[in-house]
Amino acid sequence: MRLPRVLVLDHTAREGGAELALLRLGEALQASGSFELRVLLFADGPLVSRLSAVGIRTGVLPLAGDVVTASRERLLAGGVRSAASAVGFLPRLVRAIRGSEADLVIANSLKSAVFAFVAAPLAGRRWVWHLHDRLARDYLPAPLVLIMRLMAVIGPRTIVVNSRATLQTLPSLARRKAALAYPGLPPEAFAQASRDRAEPVVGIVGRISPTKGQREFLRAATLVAAGNEHVRFAVVGGALFGEHEYEAELRSLAGQLGIADRVEFTGWVSDAHARLRGLALLVHASPVPEPFGQVIAEAMAAGVPVVASAAGGVPEILDEHGRAEGPWWTTSLGVLVRAGDVPSLAEAIAFALDDPQAADARAEAARIAASERFTIAETAAAVSGAWNGALPRRLAVR
């Protein structure tokens, strides 16, 4: 019997969180040999060669540039033109799905899910939504939330969610067909990091965006710097989805706050993971609830202490049974801070820096927890199960 053919769709070929998760998952599934995996992206970009490099056949079916790159807010506002190009794109997508002879279609992003919702049934295929985003109004514009929730109920056969926090944003009818698969990390992510203790660097790592909280990070850094002359700071990452103004704003903010000489802005780096491993402390400062937060799992895996915003999927990562206790608090695995609360973030960072032994003990516990909960093998097993459940019975791998 032949292997089930699975076609994964994503609207972007840039390395956002969901795309990184896809790359890691794809590599593990490819190695397991249980599916014949293909990826179809709606734009060209770095993900194409990265997927191809791990042996995954990857194609590009270009959608108009403005639909691919627009932020969700702007896409909604500037609707008509994007709607027109989207309509032209649909028949091409239906043909591509048919031509791939896929048994199952996976949508790995919100935009690709909108297209899968229409194109998969037209092509006579079942589809699975791999949901990396919380369908909630504190995260997406309200009309989009409504549309997406409705789609979740009537569209996909199965929904794979990246956290319980994401799961909770689904309507109950959609929750019934959901499976949880935390984004996992490859074995090399679990090698222990070594850090410079004399000149500790506190860093925020990831895409530059107002939703990731680099502004809050810089403000908190200013308060921490005032009480600690040795500590330095790093903003690791660049703007990906049209947020270059915000990046420029951050650089001038560091000047205004008087900490320009204490902060390094690396811009986009190919070895973000190496930078992460050198940090004394990883700060995750998202003011909006993060659906999962892979960078936190990465820090945990490397044994780097973490201070993070207690919202969305983050408390689940750092403290499985935790509840909000105050403006900031420690768990057995890290330090949690009320999201968007700059003074508390500064206090929490200073607290973690002042007692490196306690921070190391939490980081070691976090490393063990991550090795039990966030391996890519675990993710691949959960996702394979969900895909198999969605496949026509005669094709499911037993």
Contact residues toward ligand GLC (CB under 6 A) are 16-18, 21, 132, 162, 183, 290-294
Would you call 55 helix, strand, or coil by DSSP?
coil
Burial of 346-362, coded b for 16+ CB within 10 Å and e otherwise, reads bbbbbebbeebeebeeb
Judged by beta carbon, residue 183 or residue 334, the one nearer ligand GLC is: 183
To the nearest whole angstrom, how small is the minimum distance from the Cβ of residue 245 to ligand GLC?
Answer: 21
Cβ at position 94, least distance to ligand GLC in Å: 27
Q: How far apart are CA 375 and CA 387, in angstroms?
A: 19
Say if residues 169 and 188 touch (Cβ distance below 8 Å).
Answer: no
How many other C-beta atoms lie within 10 A of the C-beta of residue 229? 7
Residue with tokens 């991550």: 370
Query: What is the nearest approach in angstroms of ligand GLC to the Cβ of residue 109?
Result: 9
φ, ψ dihedrals at 235, nearest 5° = -105, 105
Q: Which is nearer to ligand GLC, 112 or 222 (CB)?
A: 112
Contact 193, 303 (CB under 8 A): yes
Q: State the minimum distance, in angstroms, from the CB of residue 71 to ligand GLC.
A: 13
Nearest residue (CB) to ligand GLC, 16 versus 334: 16
Least separation in angstroms between CB 88 and ligand GLC: 28
- The SS3 call for residue 21 is helix
The residue whose two tokens read 């207690």 is 310
What is the rounded distance in angstroms from the CA atom of residue 145 to the CA atom of residue 328?
30
Largest CA distance in the chain: 67
**Which residue minimizes CB distance to ligand GLC?**
17
> How far is Cα 61 from Cα 41, in angstroms, rounded to an integer?
6
Residue reference for tokens 């939490």: 362
Compare residues 115 and 292 and give the one whose CB is closer to ligand GLC: 292
In the complex, the smallest distance separating the C-beta of residue 99 from ligand GLC, rounded to whole angstroms, is 29
Q: Which is nearer to ligand GLC, 253 or 308 (CB)?
A: 308
Q: Where are the beta strands (DSSP E) in 108-241?
A: 126-131, 158-161, 178-180, 201-205, 232-236
360 vs 378, beta carbon nearer ligand GLC: 378
* Length in residues, the chain: 398
- From residue 374, give the alpha-carbon distance in Å to each of 128, 162, 173, 189, 377: 22, 11, 28, 10, 9
Min. distance of Cβ 167 from ligand GLC in angstroms? 12
* Closest separation in Å from C-beta 209 to ligand GLC: 10
Written as six digits, the tokens of 288 are 């909006």
- Tokens 């811009």, residue? 267
- Cβ nearer to ligand GLC, comparing 293 with 334: 293
Question: Is the C-alpha dihedral spanning 56, 104, 389, 12 positive or negative?
Answer: positive
Paired sense of beta strands 328-330 and 335-337, if any: antiparallel
Q: Looking at beta carbons only, is 17 or 287 nearer to ligand GLC?
A: 17
Query: Of the two residues 18 and 189, which places its CB atom closer to ligand GLC in the complex?
Result: 18
Q: How far is the CB of 21 from ligand GLC (least distance, A)?
A: 4
